[in-house]
Structure 1
Amino acid sequence: MTTEDAFINKYSLVKGAARRARQLQSGATPMINAKSTKACRVAQDEITQGHVKFVLTEREAEAIQDLPAE
């Protein structure tokens, strides 16, 4: 799975990575054997490898549709 399949745009990718990084910093177990110990990098690697899914609420989906195309 590519990052583009999992996330609608760069904003949702950053938001999803930030949420996952906070979970890791709070003690969540990483889903991969990461080379880095930094939560942000581990979160990005998990997303790239397809271990993390990002679910949009209706409100978030509507807000993203209103953004200009990249």
Structure 2
Amino acid sequence: MIHPSYVELMKVVNSDAAEIGEEPVVNSRYSIVLASARRARQIIAGAEPFVANPKCDKPLSIAVEELYNGQVRILSEEEAQQLEESKKVQSESENVEQNVDTIEENEIIENL
């Protein structure tokens, strides 16, 4: 597979920011390399590729293809922090729901 150039990838990755008028997410090839490597490691670890029929079955090639197709996004630091916070809040609310369910089950058992 012939990989798109870094310049092409940067244009694709930054296309959302350009439409909105924000700062580009990716300012260097280094960011593209890091994102591709991280996604390749996820695929190696067992994550399902988002590409239905990848042109090549090497994890790095799949990761680059996903980035180029816009199936994987590189988040800005602010977006990454917001995502982590929302995951934390969601996890905490799920824990609260589980605790409430456990309390209700215990009450039912005690009332019998």
Give the TM-score, by structure 1 length.
0.71
Q: Which runs of 5+ in 1 are unaligned?
A: 59-70
User: Residue 12 of structure 2 contacts residue 70 of structure 2 at CA under 8 Å; is this kept in 1?
Assistant: no
Instruction: State how many pairs are aligned.
Output: 57
- Correspondence 1:14 to 2:33: yes
Of the two, which has the highest radius of gyration?
2
Kindly provide the amino acid, as one letter, of the partner of residue 55 in structure 2: K
Q: Deviations over 1:2-57 (max 9, x none)?
A: 62241512011001000000000000001012021100000001101111101132
How far, CA to CA, are the matches of 2:60 and 2:12 in structure 1? 20
Q: How does 1:1-70 map to 2 (within 5 A)?
A: 3=9, 4-6=11-13, 8=26, 9-32=28-51, 33-57=53-77
Structure 1 segments, 4+ long, off by >4 Å, are none
Q: Which runs of 5+ in 2 are unaligned?
A: 1-7, 14-24, 79-112
Q: CA RMSD in A?
A: 1.6
